[in-house]
Amino acid sequence: MELTDADLVARVLVDDDQHAFGELVRRHQSAVRGLLRQLTRTDVALADDLAQQTFLRAYKNIRSFRGEARFSTWLYRIAYNCFREDARRRKELVGIDEEQLQTQHDPQIANPGLRHDLMRALSLLPLNERSAVLLCCQSGLSHDEAARVLDIPLGTVKTNVLRGREKLKRMLADWGPN
Amino acid sequence: MNQEDWLDRELREAAPYIDDEGFTARVLQQLPAPRRAHDLLRAAILLGMTLLASGLAYVVSGGGRFISITLERLAALPVLWVFVLALASGLMIAAVGAAAAISQGRAS
């Protein structure tokens, strides 16, 4: 029987079992790296650096994980904090670096067309709307969970998701159903 | 199918599984040494230093005479002073506990 995240966390807590932590990293690396790639506007190298920071911080602070939320939600929160701290350092919280958008792209986004336009449209959203849409519509978090991750009120999350989706729909109107 | 469903589906599909490609190994390499070995070493050092300091204090204090002197002084203290000392100790321990609880809460 496969161990649950809670079982693995318990092993890390009790025995400092790094193999158990490795299994947690393996399970969640794709989701965390994916979220960070979207938040960093597909800067793969930066996203992976932040993902490493996220898991190292999770390991150091694993005692503060109380199991009230899903482990993945807790990780998203750490990842978002890592991203925000880095963005503050780089002063890139607002504004779009068009040059960066043109020169860097995610190698896993091989499909041109709709996928490309969607990624581009997402990257054009303001950070607050982009992060809310990513967490709720892509990562499958509830509004409440997203509010915890982003550390903002529930109503603000709902507003940001709504506005973000409306903007995406407008930007992708040519691809939508007629 | 409405447009919301279409957008949600595209958003989900736009997040493909990212292959590990050594990522987990790189994270594990950067983890600090396992706590067990680290804790044993720390405990041994603390125990050694405590024994050394105790031995030194015993010799310097003339065979531990200061203990009996201190106990005699404590016994001679008025009841009010003993109460104040106990209260102060209790408050100090409670403050340290509260600070630890607050820092744990902030970390989570």
User: Residue length, chain A?
Assistant: 178
pLDDT 10s digits, A108-135: 444 567 788 888 898 899 999 999 999 9
CB pairs below 8 Å between A and B: how many? Answer: 92
A154: which residues sit within 8 A by CB, 6+ positions away?
A: A143, A144, A147
Q: Which of A3-7, A63-67, A92-96 has the lowest mean pLDDT?
A: A92-96
CATH 1.10.150.120 describes domain A111-178: no
Query: Quick one: which of B36, B27, B9, B105 has its CA closest to A57?
Result: B27
The percent of residues above 70 in pLDDT, for chain A, comes to 86
Give the confidence band of B34 by pLDDT, cuts at 50, 70, 90.
Answer: confident
Q: What is the pLDDT of residue B30?
A: 93
Say how many residues make up chain B: 108
Residues of A in contact with B100 (CB under 8 A): none
Domain ranges, ordered by start, for chain A: 1-108, 111-178
**Shortest CA distance from B2: residue in chain A:** A177
Domain A1-108 coded CATH 1.10.287.620: no
Gap between the Cα atoms of A88 and A65, Å rounded: 25
A133 touches chain B (CB under 8 A): yes
Enter the tokens of residue A92.
């890139």
Is it the case that residue A100 has pLDDT exceeding 90? no
Q: Is there a contact between A176 and B3 if contact means CB atoms under 8 Å apart?
A: yes
Tokens of B8: 């949600």
Average confidence score pLDDT of chain A: 86
When CB atoms are compared, the residue of B18, B30, B108 closest to A108 is: B18
**Residues of B (2-61) whose Cβ lies below 8 Å from A:** 2-4, 6-8, 10-20, 23-24, 26-28, 30-32, 34-36
Please tell me the distance from the alpha carbon of residue A77 to that of residue A55, in angstroms, as a whole number. 11
- Domain spans, chain B: 7-62
Distance from CA of B90 to the nearest CA of A (A): 26
Distance CA B1, CA B100 (A): 53
Q: What is the pTM of this model?
A: 0.67
B5-22, pLDDT tens digit by residue?
788 888 888 878 899 999
